[in-house]
Structure 1
Amino acid sequence: MLPSAVTLLNAALLLISACSALASDNQYPPRSPAPASQPAGAHNADSSAVSYRLEVPLWPEGSQVLLDGINALAHEKWALTHPTYLVYSPTINSSRSAILVFPGGGYKALAIGPNSTLGPQGADVCKWLTDSGITCILVKYRVPNTGCNWNSETRRHEQPEIPMALQDAQRAIALVRYNAGAYAIDPDKIGVMGFSAGGNLAVLASTAFQHRTYEPIDAVDQMSIRPDFAIPVYPGHLTMEHKNKTPKSVAAGELNTDIHISSDVPPTLLIHAEDDAVDPAYYSRVYEEALRKAGVNVELKLYATGGHAFGVKRQGTDTDRWTDDALRWLDRLEMP
């Protein structure tokens, strides 16, 4: 789950840039963001024409949730303390559905740097979605150590005192739903998708919706925080290994107790490669079995090759098919 040094540096530079931009804009509700020179742009020929139209702060400036996070992250070298989301609008006729995308990065950084398989600022994953008529909401949640993460010094998994990443995910869902009219989307067609640690966040967001992890602030928090569907892609932290349970052979077969299963969990599509050496495919198998036992509409797509962090890049492996499989699954749900 830990990012490479290059990925961490790229992500950190993006985080610093994002925080600097927000420091000069304390307005809320959100308004149109940066000038045309600022949005995410060229990564390759596929994403060069993609840019977001809005950058939206998740929390009102001065709110207690935001202040608590700033204090908790005060001693971190590269901290994203002011979470936002980027709105990418469909490039063809809109299906009126939206997907909130949570990048990976081990809850240490956000893997949306120049070499990311999601594209810089998520441009590639959002191009795929917007080309399919889906509004893409790229969520830049707070990091580091804001969800279950690996401490390389203690060699243990650690839980944050404040679940800031989940707070941000829940607030983002509510805020998108609150702004559904402005974004020209159906408030009942809002899903979540996440990659690696972001896949874990998608799982948490789609199972913890009965308990808001922060005190309501404003009218936004009157909105439901339950996503209408979930697509975790090579998700991590799903078994009891991540609660430091031993022996590992037993813990690997038990669902993480931070994940609360009920029959109300939204339809879920799990994506995983069999040869993933970072977040093994049995994570998704354990989660899929728990959902199936609860009567949840769930499907697990396993691919023989693809490894970890394949994102939406074509790389000549079996995982190249997953984006088409996901769109077919959404069609069956009538989303889009």
Structure 2
Amino acid sequence: MPNPLTALLYAVALWIPFANAIAADGPDLEQRRAEAMQRASATIQAEPVINYSQEVALWPEGSQVLQDGIKALAHETWAWTRPTYLVYSPKVNTSRSAILVFPGGGYKALAIGPSSTLGLYGADVCKWLTDSGITCILVKYRVPNTGCNWNSVTRRHEQPEIPMALQDAQRAISLVRYNAEAYGLDPDRIGVMGFSAGGNLAVLSSTAFAHRSYDAIDDVDEVSRRPDFAIPVYPGHLTMEHKNKTPRSIAAQELNTDIEVSSAVPPTLLIHAKDDPVDPSYYSQVYERALKRAGGSVELKLYETGGHAFGVRKQGKDADRWTDDALQWLRGIGIP
């Protein structure tokens, strides 16, 4: 368990690049950034509301996939190169189900610092889940630029040569399922949830499960990487705008070709606010339409107000209802 000073320094380091990336491709960048920082300064907390029980490395230290990532990110100032996950377990009334949570940050950082609306180290979202009997697995995937991201210099979206964030997500799903008995879980009740860029990662991990994004290295990789359900919350990078396709008005209504929809995609609940200024709600609407056409099971909860990055923090807005709606949806599919 980290001491308070280490936790604070680490969280601040993660927050700085996230603040720089929060709305990088919008015309009102500076205004949005100022508003985000103002909200953050009003909600800083020094200690998590609950503590995780263990931190688990995703990759063996000598594995090629880990070493390749360390090499690829060596030139980055704020690189997180050794991905892990944090295990938060229910104290009572466990449902034997788990949700892997992917925080946002624009694939530039992990938004789990002291000002995060998910809580420090994701503790707030995990408290909500564990209070509902669900084991929460907070995934600290590699960054930066490990998924589709905005290059503020070239003014274009870029795709990484190595999809490290997806590699980490797939590995984490298999690793949690591999350890299901040790964690007191049913291996058929393991889902994913992600926020913003993490929402994109939840979409990718629940659609790209047919092909592993790295070469198998051990018995863990023989275990299924398909999540049993998915809850992308204000997900980003879902349209062909993110492939730099023009005209943008048309590209905005086309699903990003990185996303492989089929009837095999697990049950999906999409969460979005209509007034989101960073990841517009039509991202989720385009994905919802594509999933329905493919015969997938999908529901979209679209809220009038809530903005972006509301996480699990109450704002007195319509989106405050999303956590209750998500639990109701989970009960509808047999979880918790």
Q: What TM-score does the superposition give when structure 1 sets the normalisation length?
A: 0.87
1:146 equivalent in structure 2? 146
Contact 1:263 1:294 in 2 (8 A): yes
The Cα RMSD (Å) is 1.6
Q: Secondary structure at the match of 2:181?
A: helix
Q: Which amino acid aligns with 2:268?
A: T
Shift in Å, 1:266: 0.1
Structure 1 counterpart of 2:150, which letter?
W
* Cα displacement string for residues 158-194 of structure 1 (whole angstroms, at most 9, x for unaligned residues): 0000000000000000000000000001000000000
Residue 69 (structure 2) aligns with: 69
Partner residue in 2 for 1:137: 137
Q: How many residues align?
A: 301
Any idea what SS the aligned residue of 2:160 has? coil
Aligned to 2:41: none
Q: 1:234 — aligned with what?
A: 234
C-alpha separation in 2, matches of 1:120 and 1:316:
22
Residue 14 (structure 1) shift:
5.2
Q: Secondary structure at the match of 1:175?
A: helix
Amino acid in structure 2 at the alignment position of 1:99:
I
Cα separation, 1, equivalents of 2:180 and 2:97:
10
Q: Distance in 2 between the 1:231 and 1:44 partners?
A: 28
Q: Within 2, Cα distance between the matches of 1:145 and 1:211?
A: 21
Aligned to 1:57: 57
Please give the alpha-carbon distance, in whole angstroms, between the structure 1 residues aligned to 2:169 and 2:202: 8
Task: State the distance in 2 between where 1:254 and 1:276 align.
Answer: 19
Structure 2 counterpart of 1:303: 303
State how 1:179-198 maps to structure 2 within 5 Å: 179-198=179-198
Contact 2:14/2:113 (<8 A) preserved: yes
CA distance in 1, matches of 2:54, 2:186: 18
Mapped to 1, the partners of 2:78 and 2:319 lie a distance apart of: 32
CA distance in 1, matches of 2:206, 2:156: 26
Amino acid at match of 1:163: P
The 5 Å alignment of 1:118-267 reads 118-267=118-267
Per the alignment, residue 24 of structure 2 pairs with none
Is the alpha carbon distance of 1:10 and 1:116 closer, same or farther for their aligned partners in structure 2, counting shifts above 3 Å? farther
Q: 5 Å matches for 1:248-287?
A: 248-287=248-287
Unmatched segments (≥5 aa) in structure 2: 1-8, 16-43
Equivalent residue, structure 2, for 1:24: none
Deviation per CA, 1:120-177: give whole Å up to 9, x if none: 0000000000000000000000000000000000000000000000000000000000
Q: Match of 1:138, SS?
A: strand
Closer, same or farther: CA 54–10 of 1 in aligned 2, 3 Å: closer
Runs of 4+ residues over 3 Å off in structure 1: 9-12, 42-45
Query: In structure 1, how many angstroms separate the alpha carbons of the residues matched to 2:226 and 2:61?
Result: 25
SS in 2 for 1:277: coil
Return the alpha-carbon distance in structure 2 between the equivalents of residues 235 and 10 of structure 1. Answer: 25
Deviations 1:78-116 (A, max 9, x none): 100000000000132100000000000000000000000
8 Å Cα contact 1:58-1:85 kept in structure 2: yes
Distance 1:13 1:217 in 2: 31
Q: Which residue of 2 aligns with 1:36?
A: none
Determine helix, strand or coil for the equivalent of 1:55. strand
Q: What is the CA–CA distance in structure 2 between the aligned matches of 1:82 and 1:207, rounded to whole Å? A: 25
Partner letter of residue 106 of structure 1?
G
Partners of 2:91 and 2:203 in 1: CA distance:
28
Structure 1: gaps spanning 5 or more residues: 1-8, 16-41
Measure the CA separation in 2 of the matches of 1:44 and 1:265: 39
Quick check: 1:12–1:109 contact (8 Å CA) kept in 2? Answer: no
Aligned to 2:38: none
1:176 aligned partner, one-letter code: V
TM-score (norm 2): 0.87
What's 1:117 paired with? 117
Equivalent AA in structure 2 for residue 169 of structure 1: A
Aligned match of 1:317: 317
SS, match of residue 272 in structure 2: strand
Where 2:81 maps in the other structure, the secondary structure is: coil
Partner of 1:333: 333
State the alpha-carbon separation in 1 of the partners of residues 156 and 138 from structure 2.
Answer: 30
Letter in 2 for 1:69: G
